[in-house]
Amino acid sequence: MKRNKYVVYWLLTGCALIFIMVLVGGITRLTHSGLSISDYKLIHGTLPPMNEQEWQEAFELYKQYPEYQKLNNHFDLEDFKDIYFWEWLHRVIGRFIGIVFILPFLYFLITKKLDRPTTKKAIILLIMGGFQGFLGWYMVKSGLVDRPDVSHFRLAAHLTTAFVTFAYSFWVALDLIYPDKKEVDKKLRNLIRFGLVVLLIQIIWGAFVAGLDAGFIHNHWPLMSDGKLIHETVFIEHQPVIKNFFEGKSGVQFIHRYLAYVVVGIIAYIWFKTGQTQRTALQEKGLKMLLALVFVQFVLGVLTLIYAVPLWLGIAHQIGAFFLLAAMTFTLHRFTK
């Protein structure tokens, strides 16, 4: 750790910035601000409109697209400025992350602070970051054609890639912080890997729920509504049943809410199985964080649903997912050879 401490600080700073970006992205989504900037300018777009004329030009451009024409035609310039801020901030943070990653990476590369394995991992991170930026542009583009909303599939890809990039950055940092390796129980390692995969699937369906605004219906718990597991509106007419669980509001909420029980069950089972083995202090710490966070996240999910996604609860639920993924990543790293 001591020899690589500045590289570790660099990687952990990247993790913190990705966390902030996901937080601002969640606010952008929940305030319906994501389509306020309809053109992409990598350099010039770093600065917001600086005077009244530039604001008016940006507003006139916004008026040319479906969100204004079909949803927000009652907006005046001040309303537009409110939604513009969050999307602008989200994009600026993305650019800042790129600078924070690339410049130190080049410095560490030139000064030979990175060994060969870490260099390869850093290049993978660079590719993931670039792909994340592309997905952001690709997502916004889907809401500028004929409907005033982005594709929930593209939203899920954009959000999940951010989560995975964070997890991998954290993993690379952990490799440097804890370079010592030891034999581990492969069955336990594979069980935690399985838990990580299920958690990522849950995050994907959470993005589907956000993209379809599916949290604003069936605001009951533990059943969905009317005393039934699935409300009649779960089925979209003239479509195969399976598509309802990918494209229907009720269907994606059904998957997300009941997959939450599976995530809790798997993590509780991980805790039970590891309790039968000799655990290190760090393994114990990771497992405790994992168990505590999954129950906090479950409660936040229930409250978010019952209260029909108020902004602060929606953001708290997304932050909870972030910390839960971090705890799962840390725990898996400690149980990996």
Residue 172: partners with Cβ closer than 8 Å, 6 or more residues away: 11, 118, 121, 122, 125
User: Span 15-32, mean pLDDT?
Assistant: 92
User: Span 92-106, mean pLDDT?
Assistant: 93
The predicted-structure confidence for 196-236, as pLDDT tens digits, reads as follows 999 999 999 999 999 999 999 888 888 887 555 554 445 55
Task: Check pLDDT > 90 for residue 248.
Answer: no
Half-sphere exposure (Cβ direction) of 95: Cα atoms closer than 13 Å: 14
Looking at residue 44, what is its pLDDT? Answer: 65
> Using CA atoms, how far apart are residues 60 and 188, in angstroms rounded to an integer?
58
Looking at residue 11, what is its pLDDT? Answer: 95
For helices 5-30 and 186-211, give the axis angle rounded to 10 degrees.
Answer: 30
Helix (H, G, I), strand (E, B) or coil at 228: strand
Task: Check pLDDT > 90 for residue 182.
Answer: no
User: Span 136-158, mean pLDDT?
Assistant: 87
Instruction: List the domain boundaries for the chain.
Output: 1-179, 182-337
Residue 222: partners with Cβ closer than 8 Å, 6 or more residues away: none
Q: How confident is the model at residue 120 (pLDDT cuts 50, 70, 90)?
A: very high
The predicted-structure confidence for 281-306, as pLDDT tens digits, reads as follows 999 999 999 999 999 999 999 999 99
